[in-house]
Structure 1
Amino acid sequence: MSDGRTIIDLVSQRQDRDQFRRKNWIGTFEEYLDLVRANPKVTRTAYQRLYDMINSYGVDIVERGREKKKYYRFFDDPDNGGKDAVFGLRGSLEHLVNALESAANGYGIERRVLLLHGPVGSSKSTIARLLKKGLESYSATDDGALYTLGWVSEDDPEDLDAIEWCPMNEEPLHLIPERFRSDVEQELNAGKGEHDFRVKITGELDPYCRFTYQQRLKKYDGDWTRVIQDVRVKRLLLSEKDRVGIGTFQPKDEKNQDATELTGDINYRKIAEYGSDSDPRAFNFDGEFNIANRGLIEFVEVLKLDVAFLYDLLGASQEHRIKPKKFAQTDIDEVIIGHTNEPEYKRLQNNEFMEALRDRTVKIDIPYVTILDNEIKIYEKDYNNRTVKGKHIAPHTIEMAAMWAILTRLEEPKHAGLTRLQKLKLYNGKTLPGFTEENIKELRDQAVNEGMLGISPRYVQDKISNALVAHPEAKSINPFMVLNELEGGLKHHSLINNEETKQEYRELLSVVKEEYESIVKNEVQRAIAADEDALARLCGNYIDSVKAYTQKEKVKNAFTGQYEEPDERLMRSIEEKIDIPESRKDDFRREIMNYIAALMMDGKRFDYKSNERLYKALELKLFEDQKDTIKLTSLVSNVVDADTQKKIDIVKERLIRNYGYDQESATDVLNYVASIFARGDSKQE
């Protein structure tokens, strides 16, 4: 067992003091100019820095049909182990990053509010949170470094603790007078290539730094070179918790909220000291717009804001300026991101007084996920282990809940003969006869509002959690427990008031239950037919007969040694399992023999798993042969003899080993499938 000294030594060996010194660097204005000359990107705008941050994590090019799409790894949340990863919104995220790229290049979008629009629970807040965390991390790296300025004390210029740092984190180059900026830019950009980043000085000092600058300029009789000797520059680390470069604003009770929360307020205690409420030293530049300068500000449910706040927002977006009380228009450099839901956005569209805001927003739709695999990933973030709170989550439990959620979001297909479930499978990558990538794209194009309506992932997460605590006696949670919770919760769902919609969602639960029945029947069938020796023997007999049939020969009986006709009944009993009609049997048999010949030419050996269609047919045939010997339906009557119980236990072990069941869920699913077969047997009688 380690002692305290060992633990301290462990931390000591891993700390990086050089990195700490770089993050806490303080230097002169002259040294900062050297930094700019060596790395001009330290002067990037907020949009440029945010765009570069996203790209720094890497970009993959993904081909979908004939189109090439960009996949930004940043949204997988690699810094946090995927905790805030965003799944299934590739198109929306690409649209967002394209807007940031346009803003970074100064094409006009930098003068707009980026409005994330979508239904509740569609990851709008998660995306904003990711961007804020990403900026924080990026500013702490060498590539993401940025700097701000401060003023030394007139009493003790060497006292670093007495430096008055800029309250709005200004870019130090704002100290260069307007009339000299073009010459300074030319000097700093000398030797740069066509595609190299170039320094461009835009913006003015905030009221506090402007006041201090003018005071020092008077003190030094207009000598700018003396003024900048009083300037210190430090590395700036963006942090939402420390309110440095990252701001968040959300609506509250109108009586308890005013515009000073955005633009700062007078410090009445300092008025007596400085003699005026218009002295910037008697003002707190701590509004969300002030502290978010050089970074990002998030407006939560932005369209719920009072009109007075929206005026400040309009000026901040279009003019890149804010109006603190008692002061002139003040330049800001920050990314403005808001998010809102569908009802609030419709209200904006119907309000003629909000035309100015509509004109100054770039709407980016953030819909619900409509691809099953991605929806499953959302829930697996919380339930990524098969055992949660001591309970085992049976296979397909999360999958069925996700399937229902997706079905509620899909529009009824206009294509004749296509069900909503089949549409879900097409979107999820399954191939169906007669449907190409172009057809699937057409399906998406026809469904304009797909993903903007339906059930929120939060509702599903809540009901999975309910199922985990609602069955204290159960060791395993199965799909029916969760589906029942989903159905029961519809009665009191706060966002669904339409009874027709509730009934539609209940009917979709029935669709999911039928799909689950099909899935588990197949799994149990495969578990029963998972006798490898029996499958190999069955396959061998089939191939021997097919070979003899195609070559018009006879088959040697292994027991009698006599040559006999190929076993037509055996071949057809297998082929019928995969719907090979009598008229197509010759084609299928030749296809199998050609497949075996091709494998041999490549030096490969054929076995029963080589051909997927034949493998499935063999499993179904073996299941049919063995289900009666196992007497699965006897489980329903609870009368099981020792020999049958032994065979059932073998099937259970296969379900546990191959499909992820535990003892309880394997027993449950066998009982359920047994009841299905019992119903089938009674119908046949």
Structure 2
Amino acid sequence: MASMHSKELISNLSDSVKREFKEQKYILSYDEFLEVFSKEPRKLIRNSAEYMLDMFKYFGVSEVKYAHNITKRHFKLFERVRGKNKPAIIGQEEAHENIYRVLEQFVRQGKVDKLVLLHGPNGSSKSSTAEALAHALEEYSKTEHGVVYKFNWIFPSDKIGYEGLGDNFSKHIGFGDESPTKNGNKSFAHLEDDEIMCKIVSEMKENPLFIMPKKERIELYKKFTENNLYAEDIPVYLEEGALGAKSKKIFDSLLVAYKGDLEKVLRHVQVERFFYSSRYRVGIASVEPQMAIDAQDRQVTMERNMQNIPPALQNIRIFEPQGELIDANRGFIEFADLLKRPLEAFKYLLTTIEKMNINLPSGIADLDMIMMASTNEKHLDAFKNSPDWPSFKGRFELVRVPYLLSAKLEQKIYEEDIKIIEKTKKIGPHSLILLAKWAVLTRLRQPDPDYYDPGLRNLIARLDPYDKQALYDGNEPSNTYTEIEKGLLKKNVEDILKESQSSVAYEGRFGASPREMKMLLYFAAQNERHDSLSAIALFDEIEKLTRDRTIYDYLQFEPRGGYHDYREFIKYIKTQYAIHFHKEFLSALNLYDELQYVKALQRYMRNVTAYIKKEKILNDITGRNEEPNENTMEEMETLMGATGNKREIRERLVAKIASWRVERPLDELNFAKVFEIELSTIAKRIYESKEEEIKKIKTAMMMHGSEDYNNMPKEIFQLCENTFDNLEKVFNYTRKNAWESLVFMNSSKK
């Protein structure tokens, strides 16, 4: 039974594969190919740039919101998971937009004539970007929209009606044979393997249209696009495309043998759909930084497996082109860390890029591919000082790939690693965002006030790294600024981001690498002193990382205006953690219900709005319109610690809501976020009134794990246990992490 079941399974699988093979048109005769071409001519004459540009469009776009009303186009192909430990690329929308624009430029001019050089600091996603493009090509080529064809030469055996491969040339597979045969003028494309004497593949993967003479293929295109918008221009690719040396020799020999009968020559053409593959180097190749030629060829005519070629071809030398450039033809090649190679090893690229061909012993091989390379900034700086740089810069399209300047985005980079880590260890609250904040802080540059309009210079001069980071994350600057000043800063975030981009030492070039931060995550997870990957465990690892300043450039910068001060940044994230935990600890004590005070604030703002507009307000209980309740307003203002002119206080709070609505017109009004500072003040005042009670519980909880903890009065013990439970269930701490955080918070106040 099991055996029958297996046979049935294999039979069904086989039928499915055969059906897909037929539906996908994997193998076509030349006639069948022209039939496909007639229906969608543009799709089948795309060069590599058009193909990749269509690929970008195929996977779609969305918008990503950055800081304060800055939105960027996001290409969805970069969010596609490329395999285990290769997550989506985060935050490089500008770099990807620049790649897209370069492709558009190639398409407009009808040819690819530059190498796209991705440059940036180590670990900034340069290689990941190239990998994502290669992966997208693989997926796109499997779709009907991304169909792409190459061709093979087929020579049949005498089983199909020919008289074999003897010495009499007129009898060789119909060459010059005008007599009718069993096969007639049918294509050999669909012959079975045992009916084929010899199959010669074209390593260049040329477009099958190039088999047709130039004049005829152009006329055919005009015919098929008579009512098509694309008919007004003949594509450069169609007009200038040519067969490789190997296929050209075979074509010419067959044409001579058949006395100019093109129809008979085309019988030998088997059109084959192919799929891009990085693994098998089909249309995609990657060149590592090593001294090696990227294309060569070898003679194959005399090889044993070529002995069955027809005599008409045995008197010509057939060469098989090889190498990464050949493998990548009609697709994409990446030169990883290009500038690590000796200059002599890639000088040939100058003429290769300019002419998009390469000289081989057998002739010139025309190339059609997107060339991309990566390099770090140090190697690029050195290369710019080379006497050869002027020759190369006209053939390079530079695309910068910097470190991220948003902690919120930086945190997302770690998410794939976190998925692995959390299988064996819990992730503590705030750990990832604080690590991301520290990393981003090391990357920020002190702004130059002279870059800005005179009215902004004093404001920019006061901008410290912490407020700058808040702006880049789309958050509010600190209360060292007035509401008007905050509005000005938020309005000018884009200019602040652009300030250093024309500088060699641009913002995002230096600082902690995401690779290093990921390494810290794994080290913290392996730390046996902690039962979770907690912020406290990460603080330990950051301090270890920074002990030897000679290892990383950014640790050697002299602090200036609060910037480049990695030690202060460590203190800052520790303080932030203590603040966060303190708030959560107090909440876990159930002494303060934020929701209750949010509702109170909403009532307060209803009264304030009516007060400002000099309107009456509906009393929910009496159902009457009444004057705004002064007692309600004053009580809340006392809790918020607001002093001064009442009208000014109230107008300032109304302006906060107006500002939120202007900046986030599509978002629902979030009272807790708008009045975060006011709510924090309210909570602080409430806790201050219960300071002694809180201190007693905190001291008791720090005794956890000792004999004294278990022997304390039942009422205190239960309150401690309830607080620990709330920290675990509501805020996701482990019991040990909660205890460590209490000790940490207590020591940080000393």
TM-score (norm: length of structure 1): 0.82
1:516 aligns with 2:577: yes
Q: Distance in 1 between matches of 2:447 and 2:383?
A: 30
Q: Which residue of 2 aligns with 1:599?
A: none
Query: 1:507-555 deviations in whole A, cap 9, x for unaligned?
Result: 3222222222223223323333465499579959x97xx99xx99xxxx
Q: Distance in 2 between matches of 1:589 and 1:343?
A: 53
| Superposition pairs of residues 236-275 of structure 1, within 5 angstroms | 236-252=274-290, 254=291, 257=292, 259=293, 261-266=294-299, 270=303
Query: 1:242-288 deviations in whole A, cap 9, x for unaligned?
Result: 22111111122x4xx3x2x433445697499899xx99865332211
What secondary structure sits across from 1:340 in the alignment?
strand
Q: Distance in 2 between matches of 1:621 and 1:287?
A: 73
| Superposition pairs of residues 190-589 of structure 1, within 5 angstroms | 190-193=226-229, 200-252=238-290, 254=291, 257=292, 259=293, 261-266=294-299, 270=303, 283-324=319-360, 326-384=361-419, 388-414=422-448, 415-432=460-477, 433=483, 434=485, 435-448=488-501, 449-469=506-526, 471-492=527-548, 496=552, 500-501=556-557, 504-529=565-590, 532=593, 535=596, 575=637, 578-584=640-646, 587-588=649-650
1:150 Cα deviation after fit: 1.0
Contact map agreement 2:702 2:739 (CA 8 A) in 1? no
What secondary structure sits across from 1:409 in the alignment?
coil
Structure 1's 61 and 81: CA in aligned 2 closer, same or farther, altered over 3 A? Answer: farther
Among 93, 98, 120, which residue is 2:96 paired with? 93
Query: 1:334-368 deviations in whole A, cap 9, x for unaligned?
Result: 11011111011112211112322211000000001
Query: 1:87-142 deviations in whole A, cap 9, x for unaligned?
Result: 1111111111111122123366x200011111110000000001011101111111
Contact map agreement 1:304 1:344 (CA 8 A) in 2? yes
What secondary structure sits across from 2:229 in the alignment?
coil
1:78 Cα deviation after fit: 5.3
Structure 1's 303 and 591: CA in aligned 2 closer, same or farther, altered over 3 A? Answer: closer
Structure 1's 645 and 269: CA in aligned 2 closer, same or farther, altered over 3 A? Answer: farther
Contact map agreement 1:152 1:230 (CA 8 A) in 2? yes
Q: Distance in 1 between matches of 2:645 and 2:496?
A: 35
Q: Distance in 1 between matches of 2:653 and 2:242?
A: 77
Structure 1's 530 and 54: CA in aligned 2 closer, same or farther, altered over 3 A? Answer: farther
Query: 1:617-668 deviations in whole A, cap 9, x for unaligned?
Result: 5433443344432424424873654323322332333322332222222222
Structure 1's 661 and 454: CA in aligned 2 closer, same or farther, altered over 3 A? Answer: same
1:476 Cα deviation after fit: 1.5
Q: Which residue of 2 aligns with 1:556?
A: none
Structure 1's 271 and 319: CA in aligned 2 closer, same or farther, altered over 3 A? Answer: farther
Q: Distance in 2 between matches of 1:584 and 1:501?
A: 48
1:572 Cα deviation after fit: 7.3
Where do 5+ consecutive residues of structure 1 fail to align?
Answer: 552-565, 596-605, 680-685
Contact map agreement 1:117 1:339 (CA 8 A) in 2? yes
Query: 1:377-417 deviations in whole A, cap 9, x for unaligned?
Result: 001121037x6252212111111111111011110234222
Contact map agreement 1:299 1:337 (CA 8 A) in 2? yes
Structure 1's 339 and 495: CA in aligned 2 closer, same or farther, altered over 3 A? Answer: farther
Contact map agreement 2:39 2:224 (CA 8 A) in 1? no
Q: Distance in 2 between matches of 1:538 and 1:167?
A: 72
1:38 Cα deviation after fit: 0.9
Contact map agreement 1:217 1:223 (CA 8 A) in 2? yes
Q: Distance in 1 between matches of 2:108 and 2:404?
A: 31
Contact map agreement 1:168 1:293 (CA 8 A) in 2? yes
What secondary structure sits across from 2:471 in the alignment?
helix
1:76 Cα deviation after fit: 0.9
Contact map agreement 2:532 2:737 (CA 8 A) in 1? yes
1:56 Cα deviation after fit: 0.8
Q: Distance in 1 between matches of 2:125 and 2:323?
A: 27
| Superposition pairs of residues 99-118 of structure 1, within 5 angstroms | 99-106=102-109, 110-118=112-120
Structure 1's 18 and 270: CA in aligned 2 closer, same or farther, altered over 3 A? Answer: closer
Count of matched residue pairs: 635
Counterpart code for 1:379:
Y
Structure 1's 21 and 665: CA in aligned 2 closer, same or farther, altered over 3 A? Answer: farther
CA-atom RMSD in angstroms: 4.0
Contact map agreement 2:598 2:671 (CA 8 A) in 1? no
Structure 1's 127 and 573: CA in aligned 2 closer, same or farther, altered over 3 A? Answer: same
Q: Distance in 2 between matches of 1:241 and 1:4?
A: 36
Contact map agreement 1:166 1:208 (CA 8 A) in 2? yes
Contact map agreement 2:245 2:364 (CA 8 A) in 1? no
Where do 5+ consecutive residues of structure 2 fail to align?
Answer: 159-187, 449-459, 478-482, 560-564, 615-628, 658-668
Percent pairwise identity = 22
